[in-house]
Amino acid sequence: MRPVSETEPGTSADDDAAASAEPGAAEDAVGEGAEREAFQEATRAHRLAKLEALRAGGIEPYPVRFDRDATAAELRQRFAELETGAATGETVRLAGRVMGERRHGGVAFADLRDETGAVQLMVTRDSVGEQALEHFGDLDLGDWVGVEGEVVTTRRGELSVLVSSFELLAKSLRALPDLRHGLSEPDVRYRQRHLDLIVDEPARRTFAIRSQVIATVREVLLERRFREVETPVLLSQAGGAAARPFITHHNALDFDMYLRIALELPLKRLIVAGMDRVFEIGRVFRNEGLDTRHQPEFTMLEAYQAFADYHDMMDLTEAIVSTAASEANGTTVVTVREREIDLAPPWRRATMAELIEEQAGVEMHPSMPVEEARAVADRLGVEWLDAWGSGKIMAEVSDTASEPNLIEPTFVIDHPREVSPLARAHRDDPELTERFELIVAGRELANAYSELNDPVEQAERFAAEARLQAAGDQEAEPADEDYVRALEYGLPPTGGLGIGLDRMVMLIAGVETIRDVILFPTLRPFVDPGADGTAETP
Q: What is the per-residue pLDDT across 266-277, written as a single tens digit (0 to 9) for each?
A: 999 999 999 999
- 283 domain residue, yes or no: no
- What is residue 148's DSSP assignment? E
Bridge partners of 425, per DSSP, are 433
Q: pLDDT at residue 18 above 60?
A: no
- 89 domain residue, yes or no: yes
Average pLDDT over residues 111-125: 96
If DSSP states are collapsed to H, E and C, what string results for 404-458? HHCCCCEEEECCEHHHCCCECECCCCCCEECEEEEEECCEEEEEEEEECCCHHHH
Percent helix, strand and coil across the chain, each to the nearest 5: 35, 25, 40
* CA 252 centroid distance within chain: 35
pTM score of the predicted model: 0.88
- 67 domain residue, yes or no: yes
Q: pLDDT at residue 27 above 80?
A: no
* pLDDT number for residue 479: 81
Q: What is the DSSP secondary-structure string of 11-50? A: S-TTTTTT--SSSS--GGGSPSTHHHHHHHHHHHHHHHHH
Conformational region of residue 330, where left means phi above 0, alpha means psi within -120 to 50, and beta covers everything else: left
User: What is the spatial distance between Cα 501 and Cα 207, in angstroms, rounded to a whole number?
Assistant: 13
Q: Are 354 and 366 in contact (CB under 8 A)?
A: no
Q: 161: domain range?
A: 27-182
Average pLDDT over residues 470-490: 85
- 163 domain residue, yes or no: yes
User: How many structural domains is the chain composed of?
Assistant: 1
Q: At what angle do helices 390-397 and 352-360 cross, to 10 degrees?
A: 60
- 124 domain residue, yes or no: yes
Q: Give the ranges where 284-411 is alpha helix by DSSP (H).
A: 310-329, 352-360, 370-380, 390-397
- 482 domain residue, yes or no: no
52 Cβ contact partners less than 8 Å away, ≥ 6 residues apart: none
* pLDDT number for residue 187: 83
Q: Which of 62-76, 175-189, 368-382 has the weakest average pLDDT?
A: 175-189
Give 466's pLDDT tier (boundaries 50, 70, 90): confident
Beta strand 277-285 with 227-228 is: parallel
Average pLDDT over residues 322-329: 98
- In 3D space, the residue among 150, 142, 149 whose CA is nearest the CA of residue 168 turns out to be 142
- 64 domain residue, yes or no: yes
Q: What is the pLDDT of residues 46-88, one digit of tens each?
A: 999 999 999 999 999 999 999 999 999 999 999 999 999 999 9
User: What is the spatial distance between Cα 392 and Cα 173, in angstroms, rounded to a whole number?
Assistant: 58
Give 32's pLDDT tier (boundaries 50, 70, 90): low
DSSP run (H or E) holding 382: none
Assign residue 136 the CATH number of its domain. 2.40.50.140
- 172 domain residue, yes or no: yes
Q: pLDDT at residue 22 above 60?
A: no
What are the counts of helices (DSSP H) followed by strands (DSSP E) for the chain?
15, 20
Give 475's pLDDT tier (boundaries 50, 70, 90): low
